[in-house]
Amino acid sequence: MIKVHGINHIGFTVPDIEQAVEFFTEVFGAETIMNVGYVDVDDEFMDRRLGVNAGRRIKDMRVLQCGKGGALEIFEYSGEDASPLKMNSEIGGFHIALEVDNVYESAEKMKAMGVDLLEGPTLIDAGPMEGLNWLYFRTPWGQYMEIVSTEGPMGYEKDGGPKMWSPKP
């Protein structure tokens, strides 16, 4: 078994890296900790090391830190047109959840900033996720993400056992 210390980063691709950096910086106070820029490699490197089709190149790459925890590694590729984003229900679909102090207050701020919020926030009041406040939103490029908060232990914590990591003290 390999010992894992935690999640180092989550990498994802966006159509416009400047738009993505501006969004995370303005809405969540993210800080750019690494600005890699263009990655000058050949098709063989892209295919064998990254699983990327020939002709595609990393046009720009940035690493952002949003609070504590794993970083966001953001890519913009050049070359062929990208396929559309996958829905959360599709294989390969995903979302990133950011923990905030209060989902309801954060939702009001995000709404005032023009962020595309889905319906909610929602409080789960029973079961293993009891106590979780959550809200999905869409980024300017259409990626689903989530903000979450809790005010105490979640339902599953009442039974003891391992607990999810939280950046909050």
**Are residues 55 and 63 in contact, defined by beta-carbon separation less than 8 angstroms?**
no
Q: For domain 94-169, say whether CATH 1.20.200.10 is its number.
A: no
**Are residues 88 and 144 in contact, defined by beta-carbon separation less than 8 angstroms?**
yes
pLDDT value, residue 161: 78
> What residues have CB less than 8 Å from 50, skipping those under 6 apart?
none
Which CATH architecture best describes the domain 1-79? Answer: 2-Layer Sandwich (3.30)
Task: Name the maximum alpha-carbon separation found in the chain.
Answer: 53
pLDDT value, residue 84: 83
Q: In the chain, what is the straight-line distance between the N-terminal and C-terminal CA atoms, in Å?
A: 29
> What residues have CB less than 8 Å from 6, skipping those under 6 apart?
69, 70, 165
pLDDT value, residue 20: 98
Domain boundaries, the chain: 1-79, 94-169
pLDDT value, residue 144: 95
pLDDT value, residue 81: 78
pLDDT tens for the 169 residues of the chain, in order: 988 888 899 999 999 999 999 999 999 999 999 999 999 999 999 899 999 888 899 999 999 999 999 999 999 999 877 788 888 888 888 999 999 999 999 999 999 999 999 999 999 999 999 999 999 999 999 999 999 999 889 999 988 878 888 888 7
What pTM did the predictor assign?
0.89
